[in-house]
Structure 1
Amino acid sequence: MRSVVLALYEGAMLFEAATAIEVFGVDRGDLGSPWYDFTVCGPKAAQLGAVARVPSSPGFAPVRSAHTVIIPAYHDVDRDPPADIVNALRAAHARGARIVSLCTGSFVLAAAGLLSGRRVTTHWAHAEQLASRYPDITVDAEVLYVDDHPFLSSAGKAACMDLSLHIVRTDYGATTANALARSLVVPPHRAGGQAQFITAPAPPGGTHLQDLMRWATEHLHEPLTVQDLATRASMSTRNLARHFIATTGTTPLHWLHNQRVHRAQELLETTDASVDVIAERTGMGTAATLRRHFNQTVGVAPDTYRRTFRGRRTTPPNPP
């Protein structure tokens, strides 16, 4: 049940393949459980990106018997993937394998005819193309990953790690997944989706919104509300939310909370101010409120964060 095969093919991309190797292919026996039985297969010396050729077990026979098959990103989504990997995936699915696509690897699964009627994600830059080419697939470009068992898919690049940790969490539990995340120095779970990384056209009044955001960051010490922002922008709260989501991918309230937490991080790193004082200077009011929002966003308590970063900076960074 723990056999995992990474299927390389001509046109597979390096970053996504390396992520799978790091998570599933490195012995993690120190986490308290026998780790995955990991195999890399594919055409001999498959080209990965532009810089590496990785020797692998010739052929795709391991794909047909693995519990989990991982398909890394596909470089040229305008071309059909190699027939041998498509046929191997069909055989793996017929046998009941769990099949994972990383980034544009979803195009390979779609070409194999496996995703009809399914929900899937891919890199936001290619989501529209995937949906247009395969209209029977529901493409969700908002999320970091999708688990539509037995098919799992991730958004681009770093989201491959989010999906990989989700798989470990499913197989071994949250404690093991969190320990692995700490070892890899990545968050065990990232809130939000990939919409926050999409460069959206500035909505009407975009400069005005930028001015508002700049003003808000200069007044974080005040108990600002979404209504305060809307009043400052001469908008209704609904209209402000629409502009915020179009520009930043998130709501005004979530953006405001994030700015407060970022400011708290800077103060924890660069000052000796108490948590109570920092709560006041970031507009959170009380230490309890600061701790709650800080924990939810950063994943650790403010005091823990300060101990971790103590000494990394002695003065605030110069503005760019």
Structure 2
Amino acid sequence: MTAKTDSLGSLEIGLLHYPGAQRAALHGLNDLFSVANRVAAELGAVELPRVRVSHWQVDEAGLLQLLEDSPGTAGQPLRVLIIAPSLESTPALELLERHRQVLRQWHGQGTVLASVCIGVFFIADSGLLDGRAASTHWNYAQALAQRYPKVRVEANQPLLDDGDIMTSAGLMAWTELGLRLLERYLGASVAWETARYMSVEPVTRPMPGARFNPRLDHGDEAVLRVQHWLQADGAQDADLAGMASCAGLEARTFLRRFRAATGLKPTEYCQQVRVGRACRMLEFTRRTVEQVAWGVGYQDPGAFRKVFQRITGLTPSEYRQRLALGCSG
């Protein structure tokens, strides 16, 4: 399921500047999204939102400053904040602490946080990756694991899209991250043509069900709080009572508001989260299907197989076989 964007509106993407941030990535992302706007216009995609890029900085007092803004109508909530890589070593603790509260505030308002290379240290320091998987450059994987032991470091994954947080590994992974965002919000055609125009590796077509792109821009803080909990926990321990309690709502009210905000019933949402994580396990581990089922919270592997096939159109074994064959269709 793809996150909704407002037609004829704008898709607000922020780029975070900090001492040592790679300028090539900041300027390159700005150019990539500018090309995407041109491509969308040439394709006649008049109902797609126009990408607006803003540049941000946190000063020494921890206050947020807007450095630069794209032309056009402002005022939309920031949909994505990208933390660029750096050519320097791991960020100093003082620098990370300065950004901690700002990142938590942005994330709490529904902004997707995305990092390239060691930009992940900023997100990890905020505590938002505790208990969750994250990717970073192989040269910094050990440092990330040692400094933040609650983070599951998976440096073998070039890009890890976990719905509300995206992390990528290589120093030049900003191109793949930018294209993935275009694919997520503007569709595969715009992403593909943008990649072709820039002569970079095109976005690969994902296997069915491998990505779940939840809607986070609905403005319902109670529902968003539950979504963040489900994404962080993998929806393993979720039940209606627990979700309603997390939202601070009566169960019936929670059900109504959750579906209105996300377009899914809570059970459907949890299934999407679990199947997305199962897809990653099938691709990057050698666990049996039964072990994968248990790993994502299903006690009954048979029930897991039925849910998995309904969402992806494939059985778990077929899904793994397709990956082994290198098939992306």
TM-score (norm 1): 0.51
CA distance in 2, matches of 1:167, 1:189: 10
* AA matched with 1:167: L
Q: CA deviation at 1:25?
A: 4.7
Show CA shifts across 1:66-91 (max 9, x none): 11111112433151225443221110
Aligned twin of 2:138: 124
Does the Cα contact within 8 Å between 2:25 and 2:85 map onto a contact in 1? yes
Question: Which whole-Å CA distance do the structure 2 matches of 1:57 and 1:17 have between them?
Answer: 12
CA contact (8 A) 1:9 1:82 kept: no
Work out the percentage of aligned pairs sharing the same amino acid. Answer: 27
Q: 1:185 aligns with which of 193, 199, 213?
A: 199
Alpha-carbon distance in structure 1 between the residues aligned to 2:177 and 2:149: 24
Other structure's SS at 2:113 match: strand
Q: Deviations over 1:192-251 (max 9, x none)?
A: xxxxxxxxxxxxxxxxxxxxxxxxxxxxxxxxxxxxxxxxxxxxxxxxxxxxxxxxxxxx
Higher relative contact order (CA 8 A, sep 6+): 2
CA drift at 1:19: 2.9
Tell me if the contact between 1:43 and 1:57 (Cα under 8 Å) persists in the aligned partners.
no
Structure 1, residues 238-271: CA drift from partner, whole Å, max 9, x if none? xxxxxxxxxxxxxxxxxxxxxxxxxxxxxxxxxx
Q: Alpha carbons of 1:78 and 1:97: their partners in 2 closer, same or farther (altered >3 Å)?
A: closer
Q: Secondary structure at the match of 2:130?
A: coil
CA distance in 2 between counterparts of 1:115 and 1:107 reads: 10
Partners of 1:119 and 1:96 in 2: CA distance: 19
What RMSD in Å do the two structures reach over aligned CA positions? 2.9
Deviation at residue 128 of structure 1 after TM alignment: 1.1
Inter-partner Cα distance in structure 1 for 2:150 and 2:36: 39
* Residue equivalent to 1:79: 92
Q: Does 1:19 align with 2:32?
A: no
Which residues of structure 1 form unaligned runs of 5+?
Answer: 45-54, 192-295, 300-320
Is the Cα contact below 8 Å between 2:79 and 2:111 reproduced in 1? yes
Out of 164, 172, 183, which is 2:178 matched to?
Answer: 164
Residue 67 (structure 1) aligned to one of 66, 79, 87 = 79
1:196 match? none
Distance 1:87 1:25, change over 3 A: farther
Residue 161 of structure 2 is aligned to residue 113 of structure 1: no
Aligned residues: 180
> Matched residue of 1:115: which SS?
coil
State the alpha-carbon separation in 1 of the partners of residues 91 and 185 from structure 2. 34
Contact kept in structure 1, 2:58 and 2:98, CA below 8 Å: no
1:100: Cα distance to partner?
0.5
Question: What letter corresponds to residue 154 of structure 1 in structure 2?
Answer: S
| Residues 39 and 194, structure 2, Cα contact 8 Å, conserved in 1 | no
Q: List runs of 5+ in structure 2 lacking aligned partners.
A: 6-10, 60-65, 206-325
| TM-score (norm. length: structure 2) | 0.49
SS in 1 for 2:50: coil
Structure 2 Cα separation of the partners of residues 112 and 184 of structure 1: 34
Which of these two proteins has the greater Rg computed from alpha carbons? 1
Residues 181 and 7 (structure 1), Cα distance of their counterparts in 2 relative to 1, 3 Å cut: same
Shift of 1:65: 4.4
- Name segments (4+ residues, structure 1) moved above 6 Å: none
